[in-house]
Amino acid sequence: MTPEHARETALATIDQSADRLIEVSRKMHAEVELAFDEYKAQGWLCDVMDEAGLEVTHGLGTLQTAFRGTGGQKQAGPSIAFLCEYDGLPVYGQSCGHNVAAAASLGAGLGFASVVDALGGRCIIMGTPGEEGGGGKHILCSEGWFDDLDAMMLIYPGMDNIAHSRAVGATRVEISYHGKAAHAAARPELGINALDALLLALNGVSALRQQLPSDVRVHYIITKGGTLPQVIPDHVTAVLTLRANDPATVRAVKPRIDACLEGAARMTGARLDRQWSPSVGQPLLSNAAMAGRFDGALRGLGRETRGRDELSGAWSGDTNAVSWKVPTIQPQIAMTGRDVPPHSHEFHAASVGPAAEACILDAAKAMALTAIDLVTDPTLMPAVRAEFEAARG
C-alpha cells in the first residue's frame, strides 16, 4: 500500500465512522462521569473498537476504567498510541471537552488501524481515566503501560488550532490556619481569627502577582472558611496551585508564596500548617517534528493554524509527565469562540453540536495522517527520537 493510498483509506474510514464517533461523544456529554468512575464511557468506547475488530482489553493494571485497543502486529514499525480522556469535572461537566478529545482519538485510531497491517507498525487506542485531578496517566506509566510505545498523541478542544501546543509545570500547596474560637460578639478579644490570617495571606499572594514573571499563574480556593458567623473561626483551609513554563521558575516562586503565608500567621497570631506537593510537575514536552506534520495535516484539511503563545492559553495535566517518557504531541483544536472560557458551563455546552463534531473529525484525521507519516517516512521517526532524546538530555 502506498502512503497516498493509506491516507485516502484512513480518511475514508474516519468519515464512515463519523456517526459512531459523534454518538459516543454525545453520550459522554449527556452522562458525565467523574475520575476513575467512567464505566459507561469505557464501555461505549470499547464497543466501537470491538466492532472495528481491534483486540480490546478492559481495565489496565489497577485502573478498572482504563482500556487498550490494539491493531497490527508491529511488523517492523513503530507503535503509535492515541490517548482518550473521558472524565468530567464536578459541577462543570465536560467543560474541558474530554468527550470530544476521546472521540477524536478513537477516530484517529480507527483510521490508522485500517491501514496499519499493510504499512507495518502497531496502532494502540489507550483509555487514560482520571485526568481531572486523578493522574491516571501517572499510574498507568508507573505500571508499565507506556513502555512499549514509540509515539503518542491526543488533542484538546479550545479556541485555536495550535499543533505545537504547550502545557505548563505545576505544584500545589494545602494550607491550614489554626486560631482560637470565641464568641464573635461577646468576647472577640479572646479569639484568634484563622480566617483573617487566610484572607491576609491570599491578599498578599494577589499583590505579589504583579511582581511575578509573566508566565506564572497562581490560583486558589478556600475549602473551609469557618463554622458559624457568630464564632471566631479557629480552623480554615485552602488549596493553592502554582504554575509556570519552567519548573525552575515554579521552585523560585515557592518561597515568595511561603512568605505571604508565614507573614499572615505572624500578623494574626494564628498557627500555619502547609503541605506542598513533594515535587514540581514537568511541563509538556511537545515534539516539534511530530507537531510539524500534524500542523501540515490540519492545514491540508482547511484549518488555519497559529504558533504557540508562550504567555497564555496553556493548562497542566497528567500528559505532561508521560510526555518525557514517550514522544508526544497534544495539539489544541479550535472549537469555540474566543469568549468561551474552558472549565465553564459555557464550554460544556459548546462540547456538543456542529463545531464540536467538526473538531472531532478534523482532529481524528490529522492524528491519523501524522501516524501514517511516522510509519511511512523513513526520516521522521528518527528525527522524532533524536529531538526527544536531546530534550531529555
Its CATH class, for the domain covering 3-167+284-392, is: alpha beta
CA end-to-end span of the chain, whole Å? 37
Looking at residue 374, its pLDDT comes to: 97
Contact, 133 vs 35, CB < 8 A? yes
pTM: 0.93
Element (H, E) at 203: helix 194-208
Which DSSP string corresponds to 76-111? SS-EEEEEE----BTTTBSTT-HHHHHHHHHHHHHH
pLDDT tens column, 288-308: 999 999 999 999 999 999 998
134 CB-near residues (< 8 Å, 6+ apart) = 35, 36, 87, 318
Its CATH class, for the domain covering 169-276, is: alpha beta
Among 138, 127, 230, smallest CA distance to 182 is for 230
Strands laid side by side in the 55-60 sheet: 55-60, 63-71, 122-127, 79-84, 151-153, 328-329
* CA quadruple 338, 343, 346, 348: dihedral, nearest 10: 120
pLDDT, one tens digit for every residue, the chain (393 residues): 899 999 999 999 999 999 999 999 999 999 999 999 999 999 999 999 999 999 999 999 999 999 999 998 766 789 999 999 999 999 999 999 999 999 999 999 999 999 999 999 999 999 999 999 889 999 999 999 999 999 999 999 999 999 999 999 999 999 999 999 999 999 999 999 999 999 999 999 999 999 999 999 999 999 999 999 999 999 999 999 999 999 999 999 999 999 999 999 999 999 999 999 998 989 999 999 999 999 999 999 999 999 988 777 788 899 999 999 999 999 999 999 999 999 999 999 999 999 999 999 999 999 999 999 999 999 999 999 999 999 998
Instruction: List the domain boundaries for the chain.
Output: 3-167+284-392, 169-276
Contact, 391 vs 285, CB < 8 A? yes
